[in-house]
């Protein structure tokens, strides 16, 4: 199979035809051998069969010392001689397909955290302004800005439009405090039918904070029968409520269905009607190519513990377009800038330690920062971003498109074999859009009612780590940084057996 040609087809929104041999383990191994990003997997600690069962901390990390690279034994992630469920070596990596919930741990994290702890222990408070020559970290005072610079390619923005602070929902509140400015006429927020619960709580509470009624100020866009929301439906809802809408707030990728929204078109359409546009990129940042500045997005927020791999509850990011981050000095010594919730770490570094009562925000997104960010969190994020510096979002997206298409092909092959048995009701269906351009590296599989417990148990026994959304959905995310085509093949075979034994 011509992989570059297949990737180019996928980038054009077309699904390539896989050969009949694509269902074989040897085909997956051939794809792995051609993968130009396969070296990146060695940058991560992938949970092993044995480590997933651990009940206590040990001195060994996933079967090896922390500084030891994964050993090669001729196997592809535990697959040997065609065996799908080989328990002969518990130190084999699991099949980790859950980066849409929590990314695997970059090995660099341990080094970066050690550097941070050594700095703190060695020079104490001076670590804010001084660093060590052999440290991978900049002084604490500059770490958030450094991480913003390293995030520029991931979200498609200039470093000055990015601020690393807080966590996702906190940033959503901070952005809405500045950008949701309801009036008597314009007070509505347009959102989608099934936002992540935290987003719903944030939107609902912001509306109530302004003394408004969510029943009147929240407009939900309903999906079609496949749980997706066509772009034309979004534009239609915008038209219906344009004169009364203050804010459009949507996810870049919908967490349940995996749908990737047309961010530039929707943003442009809403802004032409006087609506401020914000995006929650929790499932998009580090997953798909973004061009937030070029798309003229007003603001966006994202977490860094999913596809960016900075660790559970990791420090988050926000984008503020440069037109909203301007700071204009006045003759009276005051400054004109976009209203926001302010704190001293949003103050310009040139005057931050003057302890003056006049707030002079840092120009750009940095002026929306409030508190001194955790150096521990920033060290972990900096480590995760160091892996991204070894590739590009374009290269990751290319592999993601092909890896996800291969996953889809194998799942469809299972459906075809089930259809041949005469089963009238398919055991599952994929609710993520078929168009490669309308999804990231996730396929949401809606199981026939009653199958989730059986399938979930089989996946767990096969050392497959993936996400379940009750009552009937499993979300499969083959992350291109560390997942392989053999991972996907092994998952499909374990899933196939689970379906075949579900009767």
489 is in an annotated binding site: no
DSSP-derived 3-state class of residue 152: helix
Helix axes 375-388, 108-123, angle to 10 degrees: 140
Q: How far apart are CA 198 and CA 216, in angstroms?
A: 20
Instruction: Single out the residue of 407, 432, 430, 445 nearest to residue 31, CA to CA.
Output: 407
Say if residue 345 is exposed, middle or buried (CB neighbours under 10 Å; 0-12, 13-18, 19+). buried
Q: Calculate the CA 422 to chain-centre distance.
A: 39
User: Where are the extended beta strands (E) located within 97-238?
Assistant: 105-106, 162-165, 188-192, 218-221
Report the 10 Å Cβ neighbour count for 57.
7
Nearby residues of 80 by Cβ (< 8 Å), 6 or more positions away: 74, 86, 88
Is residue 199 marked as binding?
Answer: yes
User: Helix (H) and strand (E) counts for the chain?
Assistant: 14, 17
Judge whether 197 is annotated as a binding position: yes
User: Which tokens belong to 342?
Assistant: 């302010």
User: Is 137:131 a contact under the CB 8 Å cutoff?
Assistant: yes
Q: Is 283 annotated as a binding residue?
A: yes
Q: What does DSSP say about strands 316-320 and 245-251: parallel, antiparallel, or unpaired?
A: unpaired
| Residue 193 in marked binding region | no
Q: Which string of DSSP letters, residue by residue, matches 372-420?
A: ---HHHHHHHHHHHHHHTTS-HHHHHHHHHHHHHHHHHHHHHHHHHHHH
Q: How far apart are the C-alpha atoms of 245 and 240, rounded to whole Å?
A: 10
344 annotated as a binding-site residue: yes
198 is in an annotated binding site: yes
Residue 73 annotated as part of some ligand binding site: no
Which of 314, 286, 274, 320 lies closest to 300 in space, CA to CA? 320
Was 224 annotated as part of a binding site? Answer: no
Q: Are 405 and 219 in contact (CB under 8 A)?
A: no
Alpha-carbon distance of 353 to 210, in angstroms, equals: 34
CA of residue 59 relative to chain centroid, distance: 31
Six-digit token string for 163: 């601020």
CA angle 388, 393, 398 (to 5 degrees): 125
Q: Are 43 and 102 in contact (CB under 8 A)?
A: no
Task: To the nearest 10°, report the CA torsion of 373, 375, 380, 384.
Answer: 70
Per DSSP, the three-state class of 190 is: strand
* CA gap 373, 371 in Å, rounded: 6
Pairing type for strands 328-329 and 335-336 reads: antiparallel
Query: Tokens 């002079």 correspond to what residue?
Result: 360
Q: Which residues are annotated as a binding site?
A: 168-169, 196-199, 280, 283, 305, 344, 372
Q: Which residues are annotated as a binding site for pyridoxal 5'-phosphate?
A: 168-169, 196-199, 280, 283, 305, 344, 372
């Amino acid at each position: 199979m011509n992989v570059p040609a297949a990737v180019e087809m996928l980038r054009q929104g077309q699904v390539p035809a896989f050969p009949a041999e694509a269902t074989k383990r040897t085909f997956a191994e051939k794809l792995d051998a051609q993968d130009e990003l396969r070296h990146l997997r060695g940058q991560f600690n992938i949970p092993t069969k044995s480590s997933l069962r651990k009940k206590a901390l040990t001195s060994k990390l996933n079967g090896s010392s922390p500084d030891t690279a994964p050993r090669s034994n001729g196997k592809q992630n535990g697959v040997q001689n065609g065996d799908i469920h080989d328990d002969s070596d518990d130190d084999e990596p699991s099949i980790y397909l859950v980066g849409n919930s929590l990314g695997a741990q970059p090995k660099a994290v341990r080094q970066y955290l050690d550097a941070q702890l050594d700095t703190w222990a060695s020079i104490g408070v001076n670590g804010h302004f001084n660093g060590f020559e052999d440290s991978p970290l900049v002084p604490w005072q500059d770490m958030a800005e450094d991480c913003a610079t390293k995030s520029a390619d991931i979200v498609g923005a200039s470093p000055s439009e990015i601020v690393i602070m807080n966590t996702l929902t906190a940033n959503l509140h901070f952005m809405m405090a500045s950008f949701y400015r309801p009036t008597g006429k314009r007070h509505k927020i347009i959102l989608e039918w099934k936002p992540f619960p935290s987003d719903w709580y944030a939107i609902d509470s912001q509306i109530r904070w302004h003394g408004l009624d969510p029943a009147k100020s929240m407009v939900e866009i309903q999906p079609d029968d496949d749980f997706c929301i066509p772009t034309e439906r979004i534009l239609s809802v915008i038209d219906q409520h344009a004169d009364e809408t203050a804010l459009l707030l949507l996810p870049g990728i919908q967490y349940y269905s995996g749908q990737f929204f047309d961010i530039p078109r929707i943003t442009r359409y809403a802004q032409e009607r006087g609506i401020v546009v914000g995006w929650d990129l929790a499932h998009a940042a580090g997953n798909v190519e973004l061009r937030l500045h070029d798309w003229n997005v007003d603001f966006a927020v994202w977490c860094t513990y999913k596809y960016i791999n900075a660790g559970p509850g990791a420090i988050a990011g926000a984008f503020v377009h440069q037109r909203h981050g301007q700071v204009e000095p006045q003759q009276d010594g005051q400054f004109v800038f976009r209203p926001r919730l302010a704190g001293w770490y949003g103050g310009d570094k040139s005057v931050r330690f003057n302890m003056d009562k006049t707030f002079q925000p840092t120009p750009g997104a940095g002026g929306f920062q409030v508190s001194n960010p955790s150096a521990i969190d920033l060290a972990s994020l900096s480590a995760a971003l160091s892996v991204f510096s070894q590739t590009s979002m374009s290269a990751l997206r290319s592999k993601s498109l092909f890896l996800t298409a291969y996953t889809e092909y194998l799942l469809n092959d299972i459906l075809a074999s089930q259809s041949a048995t005469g089963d009238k009701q398919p055991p599952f269906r994929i609710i993520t859009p078929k168009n490669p351009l309308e999804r990231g590296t996730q396929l949401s599989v809606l199981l026939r009612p009653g199958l989730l417990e059986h399938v979930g148990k089989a996946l767990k026994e096969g050392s497959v780590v993936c996400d379940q959304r009750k009552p009937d959905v499993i979300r499969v995310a083959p992350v291109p940084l560390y997942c392989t085509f053999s991972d996907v093949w092994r998952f499909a075979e374990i899933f196939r057996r689970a379906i075949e034994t579900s009767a």
